[in-house]
Amino acid sequence: MRALKEGLKFHANAIKSGLTPNIFTANQLIHLYSKLGFVGEACKLFDEMPERNVYTWNAIINAHIKSQNFTAAQFFFDSAPCKDSVTYNSLISGYANSEGHENMALNLFVQMQYESESVKVDEFTLTTLLNLVAKLRVLCYGRQLHSYMVKTNNDSSRFAVTSLIDMYSKSGCYEDAWSVFNGSGGQGVTDVVVKNAILAACCRKGELELAQEIFSTQLELNDNVSWNTMISGYVQNGCEDESIELFKCMADEGFNWDVHTFATVLNACSTLKSLKLGKEIHAWVLKEGMLASPFIASGIVDVYCKCGNMGYAESVHKTFGTRNSFSITSMIVGYSTRGSMLEARRLFDSLAEKNIVVWTAMFSGYVKSQQYEDVFHLFREFQNKERTVADALIVVSLLSACATQASIDLGKQIHAHTLRMRIKTDEKTVGALVDMYSKCGNISYAESTFQRARAKDLVVYNVMIAGYAHHGYEYEAIKLFQEMKQTGLQPDAVTFVAILSACRHCGLVEEGEMYFSSMTEDYAITPETDHYACMLDLYGRSNQLEKAVAFFDKMPIEPDTIILGTFMNACKMNRNLELARMAENKLLEVEGDNGARYVQLANVYASEGKWDEMRRVMKRMRRKAAKKLTGRSWVHVGNDVHVFKSGDRSHSEAEAIYFTLECLIQELCDVLAFDNLI
DNA sequence: GTAGGGTTAG
């Protein structure tokens, strides 16, 4: 490399001293310098050239684009005394391929159309723009470009065909991609890039058999990319084992594994959560010397995280990727899944510049670990430190924390934030909003959010139906269930839990039985614990203990604590101590260390005045040293939540709190006394 | 001199 650099310098000096005053050679040299990364040298030569033409200007603009210096590229573009299509195409392509400059590319394209005669939109411009609109997913622009290409006869070269197939496929229009492919000769094409583009399109659509057929015809055409596309296609469609087979086959057929191959196969390992395979691939990666690639390093870290081996993940991370945000995100998720939030936080703090994905991983981690206070603290930190707006995924985490903490005020603020910032409300956001309002006790807000939303999937309906059921609007729940079916959505197991609980709350035995049998007969859903518990509760609340007993005996699953607890409750409501005693041993056998169960049992006996039996149960509980979790309440003051239990004096302001409470009690007594006087 | 296909984290 050094020899080449010296050679280039010698050549440049020769030109400058007039030995070969050839503008063509100098332009070539600028290009060569830029290709080797010597932008400084390219600039120096450009400055010293006695004469320049449009090629010289294009070469220097490209040199700056290559080094990602867009300020300089734009400066030279603006200063160029002469421009041609290449000048425009180069800068448009530079902007189109860099993050955050996409709008500049579009503006330049508009500007290009008002330029002089020497600047014409050509196939280079159009294919670059097709790539851009595929990246930005603006299908309407893509279609306009396609029409323009047909009109100007720019739609039939292999470059045009590839870009069109790719644009349509990435925009979700598989049929259009396919018709472009067919129009260009279909399976008779001899260009490997066109072939690979349609292979990728088939894989994206899940048409694996067709992809395999295309892959196998004209085998001699296939290159590394064809193999990588197929391997990736299998992973995308959940066929990880087949992808591994093809990966091995690729080497047998004499094709070299590259960074793309390994990145894809590592992805398969992560999905399979196979530590054994992960280690094998890790060994191959080491053998091929590919760990320097950030794609591969973070891929290996991700595999170990998904397999739950944080020790291995940590050691690869330490050696290769301490600044790799992908690697750090995988580690945060890995630690969060195990509930190690301190470790997750350590990694989060190790990243100087945090992107939205890392933030989201941290938010979800706290939600997963039920550390809701930390969710809110993190949000304040996010707002203070970042300029970017919390996106839909962060909003979902925040709303989920609000729902569990019943923080309706904060929930409303977050809702307002999504509206103000025009955050795209997809099904997940709508579901989280409806759930938050419903769990915070405001069913009418939940309802209006639901009704206004355009994006509604099964989960959104489930949340709303469950909300109605919990708030005692059983008939609305049933009505919405019917409406949901009419829209063509298929109810799932969660829908039936919601609808059965609506039935049990208002004692609709016949309807409940009808839904329960419809669930298995019409939708082939196997009932789970919650469904059985709902039915038992329904019978219990409707004073139909015989039916409850018959149902209990017929259940094909071993009764667990939830079912036994519900059954016990049914016995209590129907004042049947005999059956309660029967369930008692079984219940304590399954869940003998849960204090709440003993208390529930004791209550059954107490409600019938069987004090001896109640004492016996409580004694049994003490013998087992089982403790019932203390019920707690909380209040929101400002941005903080204060948790307390009955008679709690642990709060730092306890003195003042109890003093105020005394005052309030006194005032109430005074009011009551005053009322009595009147 | 400018353009096309296959790879990561929430």
- Average pLDDT on A395-415 reads 93
Interval A249-286: pLDDT, tens: 999 999 999 999 999 999 999 999 999 999 999 999 99
User: 1.10.3470, 1.20.1530, 3.30.450, 1.25.40: which CATH number matches A528-631?
Assistant: 1.25.40
Interval A296-327: pLDDT, tens: 999 999 999 999 999 999 999 998 877 899 99
Listed as ranges, the nucleotides of chain B within 7 A of a protein C-beta are: 1-10
Q: Which of A214-218, A493-497, A625-629 has the lowest mean pLDDT?
A: A625-629
Task: Identify, with chain letter, the residue nearest to nucleotide B3 (CA–C1').
Answer: A124
Nucleotide nearest to A163 (CA to C1'): B4
* Beta bridge mates, A195: none
Give me the residue spans of the domains in chain A. 528-631
**For A122 and B3, how far is CA from C1' in angstroms?**
10
Interval A583-637: pLDDT, tens: 777 667 777 777 777 777 777 778 888 887 778 777 777 777 666 656 666 666 6
Tell me how far apart the alpha carbons of residues A444 and A598 are, in angstroms, rounded to a whole number. Answer: 38
Q: Which of A30-44, A437-451, A568-582 has the lowest mean pLDDT?
A: A568-582
Residues 16-55 of A with CB under 7 A from strand B: 31, 54-55
Chain centroid to Cα A191, Å, comes to 36
* Lookup: tokens for A179: 């018709």
Residues 440-479 of A with CB under 7 A from strand B: none
Q: Is the CB of A155 under 7 A from strand B?
A: no
Q: Of A5, A35, A58, nearest to A46 (Cα)?
A: A58
Q: Is the CB of A185 under 7 A from strand B?
A: no
Question: What is the model's pLDDT at position A270?
Answer: 97
Nucleotide nearest to A397 (CA to C1'): B10
Nucleotide nearest to A394 (CA to C1'): B10
Element (H, E) at A644: strand A640-644
Tell me how far apart the alpha carbons of residues A573 and A604 are, in angstroms, rounded to a whole number. Answer: 9
Task: Identify, with chain letter, the residue nearest to nucleotide B7 (CA–C1').
Answer: A260
CA distances from A214 to A208, A209, A240, A250, A308 (A): 10, 9, 20, 16, 38
SS3 A223: coil
Question: What is the model's pLDDT at position A662?
Answer: 82
**For A291 and B8, how far is CA from C1' in angstroms?**
13
Q: Which of A189-193, A361-365, A653-657 has the lowest mean pLDDT?
A: A653-657
**For A228 and B5, how far is CA from C1' in angstroms?**
10
Percentage of chain A surpassing pLDDT 90?
A: 65
Q: Is the CB of A541 under 7 A from strand B?
A: no
**For A266 and B1, how far is CA from C1' in angstroms?**
39
Question: What is the model's pLDDT at position A616?
Answer: 79
Tell me how far apart the alpha carbons of residues A514 and A527 are, in angstroms, rounded to a whole number. Answer: 14
SS3 A646: coil
Question: What is the model's pLDDT at position A118?
Answer: 87
The rounded radius of gyration (Å) of the Cα atoms in chain A is 34
Q: Of A167, A8, A283, A499, nearest to A300 (Cα)?
A: A283
pLDDT-derived band at A208, boundaries 50, 70, 90: very high
Interval A415-468: pLDDT, tens: 998 999 888 888 999 999 999 999 999 999 999 999 999 989 999 999 999 999
Nucleotide nearest to A65 (CA to C1'): B2
SS3 A566: helix
Question: What is the model's pLDDT at position A676?
Answer: 63
* Beta bridge mates, A517: none
Task: Identify, with chain letter, the residue nearest to nucleotide B9 (CA–C1').
Answer: A326
The answer to whether the predicted template modeling score (pTM) of the entire model surpasses 0.85 is no
**For A127 and B4, how far is CA from C1' in angstroms?**
7
Tell me how far apart the alpha carbons of residues A267 and A391 are, in angstroms, rounded to a whole number. Answer: 25
Nucleotide nearest to A336 (CA to C1'): B10
- Residue A643 pLDDT greater than 80, yes or no: no
End-to-end CA distance of chain A: 103
**For A89 and B3, how far is CA from C1' in angstroms?**
8
**For A364 and B10, how far is CA from C1' in angstroms?**
8
Question: What is the model's pLDDT at position A641?
Answer: 62
The mean pLDDT of chain A is: 89
Q: Which of A1-10, A355-364, A488-497 has the lowest mean pLDDT?
A: A1-10
* Lookup: tokens for A127: 């294919």
Question: What is the model's pLDDT at position A636?
Answer: 63
Question: What is the model's pLDDT at position A155?
Answer: 93
**For A133 and B3, how far is CA from C1' in angstroms?**
14
**For A256 and B7, how far is CA from C1' in angstroms?**
15
Residues 202-241 of A with CB under 7 A from strand B: 223-226, 228-229, 232
* Lookup: tokens for A567: 């059954």
Task: Identify, with chain letter, the residue nearest to nucleotide B4 (CA–C1').
Answer: A159
Tell me how far apart the alpha carbons of residues A341 and A363 are, in angstroms, rounded to a whole number. Answer: 11
* Lookup: tokens for A145: 């470009």
Q: Which of A25-39, A137-151, A462-476 has the lowest mean pLDDT?
A: A25-39
Nucleotide nearest to A85 (CA to C1'): B2
* Lookup: tokens for A543: 């004073």
Enter the DSSP assignment of A52: -
- Burial zone of A641 (CB within 10 Å; 0-12 exposed, 13-18 middle, 19+ buried): middle
Residues 345-404 of A with CB under 7 A from strand B: 355-361, 364, 391, 393-394
SS3 A591: coil
- Binning chain A into helix, strand and coil, the percentages to the nearest 5 are 75, 0, 25
Chain centroid to Cα A201, Å, comes to 23
